[in-house]
Amino acid sequence: MKSDFKDSIEKAVNNANLTGALGKFSEAYKVNRARAYEGIDFEALRTVIAERKGYAATHLDQMAADFTRNAEAAGARVFCTSDPEKVKEYILKVARDNNVRTVVKSKSMATEEIHLNSYLEKAGISVGETDLGEWIIQLAGQTPSHMVMPAIHMTKEEVSELFSKEIDQRLTTDIPQLVEVARRELRSKFLAADMGISGGNLAVAETGSIVLVTNEGNARMVTTLPKIHIALVGIEKFVEKFSDIVPILDALPRSATAQLLTSYVSIITGPSPNTDGSTKELHIILMDNRRSEMAHDPKFRQALQCIRCGSCLNVCPVFRLVGGHVFGKIYTGGIGTILTAWFDELKKSEEIQGLCIQCGNCKEICPGKIDIPELILEIRRRLVEKEGLPILQKAIYSVVNNRRLFHGMLRAASIAGRPFSSGKFLRHLPLFLADLTDGRSLPAIAAEPFRDRFQKIKQPKCSEKAAFYAGCLIDFAYPEMGEALVKILNRAGIEVVFPEEQTCCGAPARYSGAYEVAARNAADNINALLSEEVQYVISACPTCTVALVHEFSSTFQSLGQTEWLPRAQELAGKTVDFSTLVKKLVDEGRLTLKEGQQLGRITYHDSCHLKRTLQVAAEPRQLLSRAGYELAEMFECDMCCGMGGSYSIKLPEISAPILQRKLQNIKNSGAQTVAMDCPGCVMQIRGGMDQDGAAISVRHSVELLAEQLENPRG
């Protein structure tokens, strides 16, 4: 990562105005969004939207032809082009032909994508943004920091300063007064403008209509007062039918601003009368700019299902720390990363794609059902394919891909690291883990890894067998978690086997775009774990579980190594996460927890992969309650802890504040213990709690439950 990018991150996370505004907004957003969707089946709604938008995206030529025919029949002039330069030339020509001197604009991301304002200004045409947020950033000479709330990074003091300069009068910081100034100033611009330029939230093929969704009323003015209206619409805004507007209007305001509907929605079909009785000149420009190329890419086609609500920004733990000036170019946040890679160029997304921590929050709330984290990984994969891995990472993965060398080095680390460790924590890890940050202590590499300890465990002979997939963290840092797991399964009459040839699950490589490495890890693990006849493959690390259940197949698929798919699927079918299996064993009466225990208050941290990919959240809570803990939910219990595998190493300046927020929420819950199902989260949160000094114990559920097993009868 380049140092100026690192600098911009540093500056953003230390900007209290920015992180305060974004943080408060994202906290309120979650609650308000849920309220706005009350009584609505979100899954059903977004399935319809994904289908309708997906249909349009796979029939772009037909949409464009139908739209053009119908809009022209209604009297509009339609111009289609794939070239942003042609868009600008067209608009300038219309302006010149009509002697246009001033333009008013309502919000349009497409015009920002092609830098229209500066082009027109250079040609001597005055361009006024009229959306309040857009006007503010225009006056400030900045770019939007959020797709829906462009000036969210600015304080009322800064706005007051800008407005004071603009109208040459000292203003206070009273927000209603500032808004009144904007109303007055912009009103005269609306009335004087020769041309209005808008975007379009939707373009309906069967009627040739464009739909504008706003709150301020500026789009109504822009499309009513000037005699010429130009709407610039990206062709991803197509829907086939007039009735397709309904589901999108159901979702867009709810997801964007947690409103049931925005103050204004305008459906414009052909020109309407001007105020002087003449007929408006309506131009609709359909802009491609690599969108149809995107539609032909089997992976990225789904990105065209975006309705531009910005909710992926609002729930992103990284975006709320750094904002859109770091996380994006014109289009910001998760979807912005993808759109930047396409509408701008792949290379431009190189740095911002690395900001994604893969927590999956955005995927869960996307009304277009876009798998944003997966697409960002795909960008990563293509970047690595094109540009290769950074040298340091290449060195690491050549080690990880050699199981013996990798394990040998981890063993060596346990000895080399010893002089530096204090108690259970290590201040400085050797080798590739050395670059770690303050704010979190790291676990010592265990003197004896689980694979060695396992040999010494005496197990009863059982008819049922499970293979334990430990993953690197349990094997080499937290072997006691593995021992606890064996104890629990033995008590339920299941014998644990530990295939020695198992190695890293490949997640770190995959999340860095090194799919070839991940595929070799996957193949090694499939061979190891399917070598013995077992009922289950169990893992107590959700990231590993997700790798075994979903990612092995998807990695092979991405690389076209389809010969591995049947065995990958066989493994996936046997694999189960710890809490799900134990809950099942308890429910079946095969495992009994001690009765009547009063173990005090506990709070539970949902790990990203467990909650959002494996959809497991109730099981560990039920087990802990059953064991005698009193559950006290923390605020944002399912928000990422900032670990994200190697993320915390690559971007410590972001990982650390995310962790601090998590620690605060844990402390505020009043619990003495915080439980979780992921050794990675344990590493992050336990390390943070150690440096924080709070007397809260951080435990994996497997350890807590092993302590509460009822002694076997007889």
* Positions in the binding site for another protein (CB under 8 A): 21, 24-25, 28, 74, 130-133, 136, 149-152, 154-156, 159, 175-176, 178-179, 182-183, 186-187, 190-191, 204, 207-209, 215-218, 220-221, 223-225, 242-243, 245-246, 249-250, 257, 259-276
Packing angle of the helix pair 552-559, 515-529 (nearest 10 deg): 130
Query: At a CB cut-off of 8 Å and minimum separation 6, what does 554 contact?
Result: 374
For another protein, which is the closer residue by CB, 256 or 517?
Answer: 256
Tokens 């941290």, located at residue? 605
CB 158 to another protein: min, Å: 10
Q: Which is nearer to another protein, 216 or 350 (CB)?
A: 216
By beta-carbon proximity to another protein, the closer residue of 179 and 632 is 179
The token pair at 367 is 């009304």
Do 675 and 701 meet the contact criterion of CB atoms below 8 Å apart? yes
Closer residue to another protein in complex, CB, 267/632: 267
* 425 token code pair: 């924590």
Q: Which is nearer to another protein, 151 or 489 (CB)?
A: 151
User: From CA 223, how far away is CA 405, in angstroms rounded?
Assistant: 67
* CB burial readout 345-373, b (16+ within 10 A) else e: eeeebbbbbbbbbbbbbbbebbbbbbbbb
* CB of residue 224 to another protein, shortest distance in Å: 5
Report, in Å, the least distance between residue 317 CB and another protein.
Answer: 19
CB-side neighbour CA atoms (13 Å) of 88 = 18
- Bridge partners (DSSP) of residue 539 are 469, 577
| Residue (217 or 408) nearer to another protein, CB | 217
* Interior/surface letters 67-81, b for 16+ CB within 10 angstroms, e for the rest: bbebbeeeebbbbee
CB 665 within 8 A of CB 635: yes
- Our CB check for another protein shows the closer of 39 and 589 to be 39
CB of 126 to another protein, least distance (A): 19
- State the minimum distance, in angstroms, from the CB of residue 704 to another protein: 40
> 174 or 435, CB closer to another protein?
174
User: Measured from the CB of residue 223, what is the shortest distance to another protein in angstroms?
Assistant: 8
| Beta carbon of residue 18, minimum distance to another protein (angstroms, whole number) | 12
Question: In this complex, which beta carbon is closest to another protein, that of residue 205 or of residue 473?
Answer: 205
Asked if 507 contacts 480 with a C-beta cutoff of 8 angstroms, the reply is no
Rounded least distance, CB 474 to another protein, Å: 43
In the complex, minimum distance from the CB of residue 245 to another protein, in angstroms, rounded to a whole number: 7
Distance CA(84)–CA(92), nearest Å, equals: 13
Query: Counting beta carbons within 10 angstroms of the beta carbon of residue 619, is it exposed (0 to 12), middle (13 to 18) or buried (19 or more)?
Result: buried
Output the DSSP codes for 45-76. Answer: HHHHHHHHHHHHHHTHHHHHHHHHHHHHHTT-
Query: For another protein, which is the closer residue by CB, 269 or 305?
Result: 269
Q: How far is the CB of 220 from another protein (least distance, A)?
A: 5
Strand duo 238-239 + 195-198: pairing: unpaired
In the bound complex, what is the minimum distance in angstroms from residue 242's beta carbon to another protein? 7
Q: Which residue in the block uniquely carries the two structure tokens 């972001």? A: 654
- Least distance CB 252 / another protein (angstroms): 12
Residue 705 in contact with residue 483, Cβ under 8 Å? no
Report the half-sphere exposure of 47 (CA within 13 A, side-chain side): 5
DSSP assignment letter at 239: E
Distance separating alpha carbons of residues 234 and 257, to the nearest angstrom: 22
CB nearer to another protein: pick between 36 and 413: 36
SS3 438: coil
Strands (E), 423-565: 425-426, 442-443, 464-469, 494-497, 536-539
In contact, 331 and 352? CB cutoff 8 Å: no
Q: Which is nearer to another protein, 120 or 182 (CB)?
A: 182
> Measured from the CB of residue 31, what is the shortest distance to another protein in angstroms?
14
Nearer to another protein, 249 or 444 (CB): 249
Q: Minimum Å distance from CB 226 to another protein?
A: 11
**Closest approach of another protein to the CB of residue 164, in Å:** 14
Nearer to another protein (CB atom), residue 47 or residue 569: 47
Report CA-CA distances (Å) from 51 to 45, 200, 248, 302, 565.
Answer: 10, 20, 11, 10, 28
CB-nearer residue toward another protein: 260 or 392: 260
Q: Where are the alpha helices (DSSP H) in 366-514?
A: 372-387, 391-400, 403-416, 450-456, 471-476, 479-491, 507-511
The helix/strand/coil state of 22 is helix
